[in-house]
Structure 1
């Protein structure tokens, strides 16, 4: 016993010294990395290592990997707070969810603020991840009394790097380019990163435009975690032009009118706190300019529409700045300057949130109480017709599920007045018990309103992103917006679970051609070397009617197929959850027989995409992602720096994205025309049409400028201070138009008489004199979104989608980009038609 008493003090001292060692083991970023923070870029893996180190050394930090990128890099979140809060972290989280109504139960009186800081969503805006390391260190540094006080009532969540693939693309390029000392002069090559740049992710998507649409895996991983916490504050750290002062809240107009007075008010409070530190250091800054709060898929607006105070902070720098750059006024902007500014606003945000924690929690609770009991907005119920294409319904409901937006079905059928998305008019409509409803009386009331409102209202018309995104239009769904509240009965999404088990050996298998999943089905059939035909006219066989575009897989065409033909076809259809129909004969009851020239053999296309310097990297990524991740069909990307040496006869389809380079000289364009005449197919998308318009043998021509002389004179008398506002008369940042379709042409197979297109500019072209005007905008075609009056006049009565025959080949003119940001679901079949059906 005496021996034990003697050993106990030694054990206690050992325990204490071990604890002190753990605390003292916490290293500052420069100690851990082996170089001064700000002296060089820190690659992704070292940033992650530092955050794991802090979590291992500090009981105030927990970390978790919440996913990986397309290139396999780790995505991480760190949770930081006082010890007492870390011990009940899950309780704080679930208590906050109860405030929103997304979790059952009554919240306690706990007033812990939740602040989420997101860094480096744009890969070449690199200073913020460097700042993230300094910020987490200062939050948990044992002798930092200020941050200790803040964390008593605040949980801070840090995502140190939202876009690791883009960041490493930039960082490693820079490391390979810079010399022993950085060259601060703008002309130095280290300030000019090559195509596609580091801004975007692996597929060249801008992740800061994907918060609402979730087309990218990084976004889906992140939003899943966001929904578990629903923070009260969210900050997205960015960089802008290297000569700019720092930008922080309050934001610029236009504000979406769903933004509350409290959200606007607290942005001012935060901005004033930042200004205190910037004034002390004599740093320049600006507020209330440029960065607006309207488009819902940003890292500031998405949190705002989910009840948080969402903000963008913009530091000068971007990829042009490198490790140091000489500014116009003669100062040198360094990486250390940049990370210090971001570090300062990050800590300032935590500080002011802590000081106002009680109010933040109270207002957040009130926000969700209003959402469920007194929602705002013109419309109270959004109707999605139950007889819409089930695959499109499923795709939409999958998105709503990810955002926790509730939907259900009406308790009764009824007739009432509502806004018809198809006609754009308020009229008498019928709601059936088989339809689906999204009510604004729910926790995610504002998100429901934002996603479905027919015409989002701008409080100010100067904005720098699209101004319309209605999901009825994006998914090609019929439905209505009602000003009345309808009772909603909880219902699950319409699951289309089928298993094709067709016995015997039918004459042919038939698959209807209606949406993206059918393109995926075709892709897999062709890759398995199964021969496929498609119907150019409607027909009826075995008492069943089929529309144009129906895939016809005959036993006769596949006699040499070496595997089990029937089981292979059915397995592929089951994989895509698509219904197969068995035809017992090729002798149809109406329409062309299966051996008719109207039932075309579908030659598997060899597809190439022009990419590289001079092309629009975002559009290249959208097309690449479409083939690689959505329809899983082979695509060869040809770089502009060797495109002149490519033998085009190896390809059947060449896709021309928006193009701004000079690699396609007149000789190469002449070769492309000869290739088309020999049977090739050129698909020009959006800006790619600029290269072709007016050129010899291409039928595409620009519309003439009808602006009157009096209007020109009036413009000459405009006031200088109103120049930006006056210019918007011819501005179209992104609005929705009704396109009248000729659905007898293969480019429009699977569509009804209208297609709703997202137009992103004012480019307008004449109807084709020598070709097929498959999709055109007519008078009154504008449906939603801001549009200057001059732009409206130009876009009306113009070509949107057309096809021209050239020799044995064809040219597809896609004036609008149906794959824009991958969220316009209803455009994906249009692109598939262009690739697979046109010109066969």
Structure 2
């Protein structure tokens, strides 16, 4: 008894020393947590302070945001564990087999806590500071838990969004917060603090890694491969607190262990929430299906991935009235997040051995006996698709997915993604093979799943995303293992350029061609577009090919050198043409080869425009294409001389701020020779106009007389589409479809549909129900899509209206769409 008492005194004394040596957030910041929204640099400074004054924490920089704010993560554990941190990390990775043979590792639990991925869900970063301090100063039983647990904390995943919100609130918040939701402090201006710099939702980007923050974070994530990952969020003010277990649908690759442990974690949280009489709910709303969330992506990588949702978000400010008449404060919100964070560490510590055992079992199953429906995936080699294959390989490398070449010709049988049935095929020695017998087997199954099975159609996001459709690459799923050989680099043929060349040709067959074109235009190189198939020097150049002539390019100091540099920069082959006289019509001087004037492009933004849709376009031009645009505020449209631009892009949105005068101005812009690219829901502003061509398809209401109140939400699903994939038939002769090949797979996120243009060009259409490939589409919505226009072009005066009903730039991961959008910008209307 004396020994036990002495031990207790020792622990208390140690904790007291720790607490005395470290300043709390309140002491360091000069105000109590919850009194203000802490700016990101202050958060960083506090975490730096903790790391500099504690032997139990290190702070590591892993990247920067687009706006230059640093990204850090902290590692916290016992002093003993910190001294052998690299050993613990390496030992844990050895359990996955990612760095060689799969081996047993240590028994330390690794918990990763991610805060504030949505910038205006700001309470969690405040909670992160308290959590770090309490762990280091001995709060609760933190010191005991750290003996067998390593805690990784990313205090702010989205600093740009957070500071956008914090600046707004500091600017408009009352001296004493006003809980009335009508007050200005509860009304963020467009675009709000939720997204990052390019207005992307970072919580939808875990798998795709299109954003700089995601790429940097996932590189570090793969160095650690935690056993538990928590993504802290906020939801509506009148919802209480959500934690695990998750709602249906759960993707079928999720293991029984992962499901069961979520229940254990939820029960541990409930213990604390019950004690404090805090409201909460579980198993509703937040599912584990879409693979690119902060809960699902870790889950498909062997972790227990979870979302925690606190009532609040950007409307809550420092305090907000709920519908019960209570005031929900920032202090309460951060306290709830602090509690679930500490509870997660506690349950991990108490189950460290089991977590490691199941973690090893997970990866052992993947490597030795994968449960995938397909044991091998064959991606067909296509010379015209080698640039897309190269892009896919880069994506798979980021995922740590192993790829081989099949190495020989052989007859095989498997599920054809393009034909959507079992088919016989012959392999080419250059075909790629992805084996399911590897550490990332589960992730492969999730990403390549041609038709994900969902137990409940009430899902939180898109329901189809298969990589072969996103990249437009012919793929087969085989039920047997196929061995391959080491992957060789894709060889891009060297360009043959010469100062004596009459002209040069570049095939329009990949997004690399579009990047080449954009940079050539920026450099002042004059380019022509082929609107007919050409043949020179026994080489065929399909429609859309780029022709660069020596004549008219005298302003370029050394055209041959400039083109050679562009060829190397973009891995694009340039073909020399020795004479303007073609093997068959058409010659270089033909009117079917038209000069492309470098377009001056404007994009509408601000209130009434979807911030996500605008962000995709902004990111595309600046980060993918590297071509200049001008962003215009919609509410300034009537004061802007839009005739200064050649084309104007309308992202999806409600356009509630678009007046009739503004709409007339846009149509006059097209009549006068401008090109108007209209996307998504923006198209509705030009539908059903008097004497107009574009007609929205009317929904079949069906029998509404026996509607059941309880089923109201599910009844609405009948007219909805949640990220379903459709096989869209293209008119490949039209410039909007140049370079896309015979099949285009479109990700449809809306049930809206439009009739065929009677006098325009229906470039992409859905003809039948059979064109629906995967993903949820309600029966009424599916019927609506039949015989509908997806992509169309309408001549309007001297200009064009280009309609893109489906978003080809969706979240920047739908690779096929980049080419289609490039056609809309550069090819349409240039002839």
Structure 2 length-normalised TM: 0.96
Give CA-to-partner distance per residue, 1:610-634, whole Å, 9 cap, x none: 1011100000000000101111111
Q: Tell me if structure 1 keeps the 8 A contact 2:18–2:136.
A: no
Q: Counterparts of 1:515-594 in structure 2 under 5 Å?
A: 515-559=510-554, 561-594=555-588
Aligned-pair CA distance for 1:755: 0.6
Taking the aligned partners of 1:762 and 1:106, their CA distance within structure 2 comes to 47
Taking the aligned partners of 2:820 and 2:442, their CA distance within structure 1 comes to 31
* SS of structure 2 residue aligned to 1:307: coil
Pairing partner for 1:741 from 720, 730, 750: 730
Give CA-to-partner distance per residue, 1:663-704, whole Å, 9 cap, x none: 322222112222211100000011110111112454211113
Taking the aligned partners of 2:336 and 2:233, their CA distance within structure 1 comes to 11
Q: Which segments of 5 or more consecutive residues in structure 2 lack a partner in the other structure?
A: 1-14
Q: Which residue of 2 aligns with 1:311?
A: 306
Q: Tell me if structure 2 keeps the 8 A contact 1:505–1:566.
A: no
Q: Which residue of 2 aligns with 1:762?
A: 751
Q: Counterparts of 1:326-475 in structure 2 under 5 Å?
A: 326-387=321-382, 389-475=385-471
Q: Which residue of 2 aligns with 1:753?
A: 742
Describe the shift of the 1:154–1:628 C-alpha distance in structure 2 as closer, same or farther (beyond 3 A).
same
Aligned-pair CA distance for 1:257: 0.3
Q: Which residue of 2 aligns with 1:270?
A: 265
Q: Tell me if structure 1 keeps the 8 A contact 2:452–2:464.
A: yes
Q: Which residue of 2 aligns with 1:810?
A: 800
Give CA-to-partner distance per residue, 1:173-193, whole Å, 9 cap, x none: 110101211111000010000
* SS of structure 2 residue aligned to 1:625: helix
Aligned-pair CA distance for 1:148: 0.9
Taking the aligned partners of 1:705 and 1:32, their CA distance within structure 2 comes to 60
* SS of structure 1 residue aligned to 2:741: coil
Structure 1 range deviating more: 471-480 or 692-701: 692-701
- Cα RMSD of the aligned pairs, angstroms, is 1.5
Taking the aligned partners of 1:382 and 1:640, their CA distance within structure 2 comes to 47
Pairing partner for 1:504 from 464, 474, 499: 499
Pairing partner for 1:719 from 678, 689, 708: 708
Describe the shift of the 1:176–1:496 C-alpha distance in structure 2 as closer, same or farther (beyond 3 A).
farther
Give CA-to-partner distance per residue, 1:634-665, whole Å, 9 cap, x none: 10000012111111110010001112133322
Q: Tell me if structure 2 keeps the 8 A contact 1:408–1:489.
A: yes
Q: Tell me if structure 1 keeps the 8 A contact 2:387–2:510.
A: yes
Q: Counterparts of 1:141-152 in structure 2 under 5 Å?
A: 141=137, 143-144=138-139, 146-152=141-147
Pairing partner for 2:811 from 811, 814, 821: 821
Q: Which residue of 1 aligns with 2:720?
A: 731
Structure 1 range deviating more: 393-402 or 415-424: 415-424
Structure 1 range deviating more: 668-677 or 774-783: 668-677
Describe the shift of the 1:35–1:588 C-alpha distance in structure 2 as closer, same or farther (beyond 3 A).
same
Aligned-pair CA distance for 1:377: 2.7
Give CA-to-partner distance per residue, 1:184-235, whole Å, 9 cap, x none: 1000010000000000000000000000001000000000000000000000
Q: Which residue of 1 aligns with 2:224?
A: 229
Describe the shift of the 1:47–1:814 C-alpha distance in structure 2 as closer, same or farther (beyond 3 A).
same
Q: Which residue of 1 aligns with 2:675?
A: 681
* SS of structure 1 residue aligned to 2:665: helix
Describe the shift of the 1:145–1:815 C-alpha distance in structure 2 as closer, same or farther (beyond 3 A).
closer
Q: Tell me if structure 2 keeps the 8 A contact 1:417–1:427.
A: yes
Q: Tell me if structure 1 keeps the 8 A contact 2:496–2:576.
A: no
* SS of structure 2 residue aligned to 1:661: coil
2:120 is aligned with 1:131? no
Q: Which residue of 2 aligns with 1:654?
A: 648
Taking the aligned partners of 1:237 and 1:704, their CA distance within structure 2 comes to 41
Q: Tell me if structure 2 keeps the 8 A contact 1:22–1:57.
A: no
Describe the shift of the 1:518–1:200 C-alpha distance in structure 2 as closer, same or farther (beyond 3 A).
same
Q: Which residue of 2 aligns with 1:31?
A: 27
Q: Which residue of 2 aligns with 1:786?
A: 776
Aligned-pair CA distance for 1:488: 2.7
Taking the aligned partners of 1:412 and 1:507, their CA distance within structure 2 comes to 41
* SS of structure 2 residue aligned to 1:488: coil
Q: Tell me if structure 2 keeps the 8 A contact 1:439–1:448.
A: no
Pairing partner for 1:798 from 788, 801, 804: 788
Describe the shift of the 1:112–1:549 C-alpha distance in structure 2 as closer, same or farther (beyond 3 A).
same
Q: Which residue of 2 aligns with 1:170?
A: 165
Give CA-to-partner distance per residue, 1:449-502, whole Å, 9 cap, x none: 11112111112221021111111110111121112221132314x434555452
Q: Tell me if structure 2 keeps the 8 A contact 1:735–1:786.
A: yes
Q: Which residue of 2 aligns with 1:16?
A: none
Describe the shift of the 1:391–1:697 C-alpha distance in structure 2 as closer, same or farther (beyond 3 A).
farther
Q: Counterparts of 1:608-627 in structure 2 under 5 Å?
A: 608-627=602-621
Q: Which residue of 2 aligns with 1:670?
A: 664
Pairing partner for 1:48 from 44, 47, 70: 44
Taking the aligned partners of 1:696 and 1:565, their CA distance within structure 2 comes to 51
* SS of structure 2 residue aligned to 1:244: coil
Taking the aligned partners of 1:121 and 1:418, their CA distance within structure 2 comes to 40
Describe the shift of the 1:806–1:145 C-alpha distance in structure 2 as closer, same or farther (beyond 3 A).
closer
Q: Tell me if structure 2 keeps the 8 A contact 1:235–1:313.
A: yes
Q: Which segments of 5 or more consecutive residues in structure 1 lack a partner in the other structure?
A: 1-18
Aligned-pair CA distance for 1:725: 2.7
Q: Which residue of 1 aligns with 2:72?
A: 76
Taking the aligned partners of 1:104 and 1:681, their CA distance within structure 2 comes to 54
Taking the aligned partners of 1:287 and 1:145, their CA distance within structure 2 comes to 25
2:204 is aligned with 1:209? yes
Taking the aligned partners of 2:203 and 2:32, their CA distance within structure 1 comes to 30
* SS of structure 2 residue aligned to 1:27: coil
Aligned-pair CA distance for 1:569: 2.0
Give CA-to-partner distance per residue, 1:102-135, whole Å, 9 cap, x none: 1225645521000000000000000000000000
Q: Tell me if structure 1 keeps the 8 A contact 2:114–2:231.
A: yes
Aligned-pair CA distance for 1:23: 7.3
2:279 is aligned with 1:290? no
Taking the aligned partners of 1:703 and 1:595, their CA distance within structure 2 comes to 44
Aligned residue pairs: how many?
A: 814
Taking the aligned partners of 2:586 and 2:556, their CA distance within structure 1 comes to 29
Describe the shift of the 1:87–1:200 C-alpha distance in structure 2 as closer, same or farther (beyond 3 A).
same
Structure 1 length-normalised TM: 0.95
Q: Tell me if structure 2 keeps the 8 A contact 1:678–1:807.
A: yes
Taking the aligned partners of 2:566 and 2:500, their CA distance within structure 1 comes to 17
Q: Tell me if structure 2 keeps the 8 A contact 1:96–1:107.
A: no
Give CA-to-partner distance per residue, 1:339-372, whole Å, 9 cap, x none: 0000000000000000011100000100000001
Taking the aligned partners of 1:706 and 1:63, their CA distance within structure 2 comes to 58
Give CA-to-partner distance per residue, 1:321-340, whole Å, 9 cap, x none: 00001111111110000000
